[in-house]
Structure 1
Amino acid sequence: MKVLVISDSHGRTKLLNEIVERVRPDHVIHCGDFCTSRQNLPSGSLTVVRGNCDWETVPEEQIFETGSLRFFVTHGHRHQVKYSLLPIRYRAQETGADIACFGHTHLPICEKDEGILLINPGSISYPRGFKYRTYAVLEKKENQPLKVSFYKVDGSPVPELAYEE
């Protein structure tokens, strides 16, 4: 299973679709601030949430399940992610999630906290606090460890952000 985690595309639908075409994921998670009409988002298996800059009517939070993994997906602005990851971790625990995917800060991170894997893929439009525009790819193969890789928008890896269980 391969999941593309992306956020804060801010209207860059052509770039978003190029990334989806390059990665060819089984599922796409967009953590909000897509800033375009819903019809311009990638077709196929997609979980999308509303960011603070979005006008389309999509959920503020969603749960996505695949295999034994349960994802909590939100943009993060309602969970004060610019100040602390504690509120989003608590919310993910409330939902029974293994993984929390969020955006809003435009800063890529991947860390495990109290059993919850927290993933912010960064931004494919406007990075903050990091020099590259980024997205993340989560891969889980049978009898293999969970792996999260980060990439620049041109597809080149960002190894210093990689995570493996």
Structure 2
Amino acid sequence: MPKVLIVSDSHGLEEEVGVIRDRHKHEVDAIIHCGDSELPFDSVHMEMYAAVRGNCDMDDRYPDEETFSINDLSFFATHGHLFQVKSSLMPLSYRAEELGANVICFGHSHMAGAEMVNGKLFINPGSVRLPRGITEKTYAILQWEGQKAAVHFYSSEGNPLPNMTYETNFQAE
């Protein structure tokens, strides 16, 4: 069963992003950082992350977007500030449509959540430093098999947050 680890908005935390990565690196197929790490692109703590540039990232070696596929899913990762995600998911949805992505990973709002909109799964892992809307500092793991998918949220210490789990089905095209 494929899995992807998704982290965002760590705002300068070094050891913590490395600990989260190391905690899950042997069980996931990809590791994403949705921006605002505030760490240098070549930081040892960011190794293995498919990382994008957020509005607080000064290292311009980070790309604004990352795209890749795992098995039958096409991923699009971005921070979200360039798509006004605090107001609407529409600009982000349009870009995902252009890219042919069906899983969109983003941050910026620091608000953890997942939802299926028009056949696309939007995932915001929240923030491992400055959460909004909840007290837990969070990250997420997406796992899927066939059309069934689940987004599991975890506290930054690695404790599952079962009340935040989101389960859905991808529709066959």
Unaligned runs of 5+ in 1: none
Superposition pairs for residues 116-127 of structure 1, below 5 Å?
116-127=120-131
Tell me the distance in 2 between the aligned counterparts of 1:128 and 1:94: 30
Tell me the distance in 1 between the aligned counterparts of 2:55 and 2:113: 20
Partner residue of 2:38? Answer: 35
- Equivalent residues of 1:47, 1:64 under 8 A apart: no
Superposition pairs for residues 19-98 of structure 1, below 5 Å?
19-24=20-25, 25-40=28-43, 41-44=45-48, 46-56=49-59, 57-98=61-102
Does 1:10 pair with 2:14? no
Partner residue of 1:154? Answer: 157
Structure 1 residues 45-72: Cα deviation after superposition (integer angstroms, max 9, x where no partner): x311100000112110111211111011
Q: Quick one: which amino acid aligns to residue 92 of structure 1? A: A
Q: Quick one: which amino acid aligns to residue 114 of structure 1? A: N
Q: Quick one: which amino acid aligns to residue 82 of structure 1? A: K
- Equivalent residues of 1:49, 1:74 under 8 A apart: yes
- Equivalent residues of 1:32, 1:48 under 8 A apart: yes
Partner residue of 2:103? Answer: 99
- Equivalent residues of 1:50, 1:75 under 8 A apart: yes
Tell me the distance in 2 between the aligned counterparts of 1:127 and 1:144: 30
Unaligned runs of 5+ in 2: 169-173
Q: Scaled by the length of structure 2, what TM-score is found?
A: 0.89
Superposition RMSD on alpha carbons, in Å? 1.4
SS of structure 1 residue aligned to 2:16: helix
Q: Quick one: which amino acid aligns to residue 42 of structure 2? A: Q
SS of structure 2 residue aligned to 1:64: strand
Structure 1 residues 102-136: Cα deviation after superposition (integer angstroms, max 9, x where no partner): 00000001000011100000000111122110000
